[in-house]
Structure 1
């Protein structure tokens, strides 16, 4: 197996990290702290980092400020997100759900949904090809 890694950028000078290998250890609290310390968090209502990426699965850790919204979001892969902290309002197919710490939602590919952070929130997002 070829080990894949990400390289640092101007926005993330300490961004070198392994994204795909026979195993990838992820220190979620460390990444949450890193996301909060970056300029993107100060300038924007969200920040995220990819911590694992293979041909079929991508895992992202994201933080959202209260009021951040993703309107009519839809992707070509299946999606799950788990709320690590905070509260989200999720609208899909005419229904509204409120998710809080420890809860998770899953979506099939191409299913439009909107997400609004009702409080500062931390989420773990996994996308996968079915």
Structure 2
């Protein structure tokens, strides 16, 4: 198995990290601290970092500020998100859900949904190919 890694950028000079290997250790609190100390967090209503990426699965750690909205989101892959902190309002197929820490939602490919952070929130988003 080839080990895949990310290279640092001007926006994330300490961004070198392993994305795919026989195993990948992820320090979630460290990455959340990093996200919230980056310029992007100050300028925008969210910030995110890819923590794992293979041919079939991508995992992204995302920090959302209160009122951040992802409208009418639909992708060609399956998607799930797990709430680490905060609360989200999720609308899909005419239904509304409120998710809190420890809860997750999963969507089949092509299912449109909107997500709004009703408070500052930290989530792990996983996309997967069938």
For this structure pair, what is the TM-score category when the shorter chain's length is used for normalisation? over 0.9
What's 1:28 paired with? 28
**Runs of 4+ residues over 2 Å off in structure 1:** none
- SS of residue matched to 1:79: strand
1:95 corresponds to which residue? Answer: 95
- Counterparts of 1:80 and 1:71 in 2: how far apart (Å)? 16
3-state SS in 2 of match to 1:25: coil
TM-superposed deviation, 1:23: 0.5
Q: Within 5 A, what are the aligned runs for 1:115-126?
A: 115-126=115-126
C-alpha distance in structure 2 between counterparts of 1:19 and 1:100, whole Å? 27
Structure 2 counterpart of 1:104: 104
Give the C-alpha shift of residue 102 in structure 1. 0.5
1:57-109 deviation digits (Å, cap 9, x = unpaired): 00000000000000000111101100000000000000000000110000000
- Which consecutive unaligned segments of at least 5 residues does structure 1 have? none
Give me the whole-angstrom Cα distance separating, in 1, the residues matched to 2:72 and 2:23: 34
How much is the aligned-residue C-alpha RMSD, in angstroms? 0.4
**Does residue 8 of structure 2 align to residue 4 of structure 1?**
no
- How far apart, CA to CA, are the structure 1 residues paired with 2:96 and 2:32? 27
How much does 1:8 deviate? 0.3
Equivalent position of 1:38 in the other structure: 38
TM-score (norm 2): 0.99
